[in-house]
Amino acid sequence: MALQRQTAVFQALADPTRLAIFERLSRGEASVTALTQSFAVSQPAVSQHLGALRRCGLVSHRREGRSMIYRARPEGLEPLQNWLEHYRTFWPERIEKLRAVLKTHKETT
Amino acid sequence: MALQRQTAVFQALADPTRLAIFERLSRGEASVTALTQSFAVSQPAVSQHLGALRRCGLVSHRREGRSMIYRARPEGLEPLQNWLEHYRTFWPERIEKLRAVLKTHKETT
DNA sequence: TTAATATATAAGTTTGTACTTATATATTGC
DNA sequence: GCAATATATAAGTACAAACTTATATATTAA
């Protein structure tokens, strides 16, 4: 079945390497070369993953001399946020309770 | 590359049919037969999607006579919630601003 | 126990995805 | 312009995923 807009972000983050690249970029921008050195895949593989992330708005890039600098786009997570927001409407108490638990957990670690 | 625990939920929700099944179940429990009637795929395909959702904790099921009744498990979304929570730590203002926008949007539609 | 119903599993097919190597394109410094 | 460097794209391969039909398993009712 063809990929739909709704599942695009899930799809993009479903691959471990691609997720790791996004997480790496969320801690600071990086060039393709730098990313390639961080992951056990070839440079073209990294470029392909970056293309996938870019196509669904999870990263942006700019040229800087010979390098392409990539950075994570928090706004790219909007669909995910939106989707979970939707479920908060359906299951308000349950999810809110869960959020509280998670927040506490975060604060104590 | 092998599927990791971190990407399991993303992977499960990355397929449009499977996402639609989960969303259907989030609006109320249903038997496999009922689900099969709602989607344009065969009964085995539905069972396979339910198996995938079940394996990562997004749905639970119980037998009721000859039927298997499936229901969505809000707790199954914990990894997603947790993951986004993590990004709130990194990008607090930005994401919080976004959350506010989304909440307003929800309330006015 | 036998037939009907409901679901799960097996096996096979097709398409998509993640990778590879090879090569094209863009930028810089000589 | 030419060589070096950085990235993207092309082409091919291997494996995973999503489906199909056929069949096995479980439950109910006669």
Q: What is the DSSP string of chain B?
A: ----HHHHHHHHHSSHHHHHHHHHHHTS-EEHHHHHHHSSS-HHHHHHHHHHHHHTTSEEEEEETTEEEEEE-GGGGHHHHHHHHHHHHHSHHHHHHHHHHHHHHHHH-
* Global confidence as pTM: 0.84
| CB B70, CB B58: distance < 8 Å | no
The separation, in Å, between residue A24 CA and nucleotide D13 C1' comes to 29
pLDDT band at A109 (very low <50, low <70, confident <90, very high): very low
Six-digit token string for A98: 């869960």
Mean pLDDT of all residues belonging to chain A: 87
B107 burial type by CB count under 10 A (0-12 exposed, 13-18 middle, 19+ buried):
exposed
Tens of pLDDT, residue by residue over A59-76, are: 999 999 999 999 999 999
Residue B45 approaches strand D within 7 Å at CB: yes
B58 phi, psi to nearest 5 deg: -85, -20
The whole-number average pLDDT for the span A37-48 is: 98
Residue type for position B89:
T
The whole-number average pLDDT for the span B78-104 is: 72
The total number of residues written for chain A in this structure: 109
CA distance A17 to chain B (A): 8
The whole-number average pLDDT for the span B89-95 is: 62
pLDDT band at B62 (very low <50, low <70, confident <90, very high): very high
A54 phi, psi to nearest 5 deg: -65, -40
| CB B76, CB B57: distance < 8 Å | yes
Nearest CA in chain A to B28: A90
Nucleotide nearest to A68 (CA to C1'): D7
Which member of B7, B15, B91 has the closest CB to residue A16?
A: B7
The whole-number average pLDDT for the span B60-82 is: 95
The whole-number average pLDDT for the span B75-81 is: 91
Test the A interface: residue of B1, B10, B101 with most A CBs within 10 Å: B10
- Please tell me which residue, A92 or A100, carries the higher pLDDT value: A100
Residue A66 approaches strand C within 7 Å at CB: yes
- Taking an 8 Å cut-off on Cβ atoms, the answer to whether B84 and A87 are in contact is no
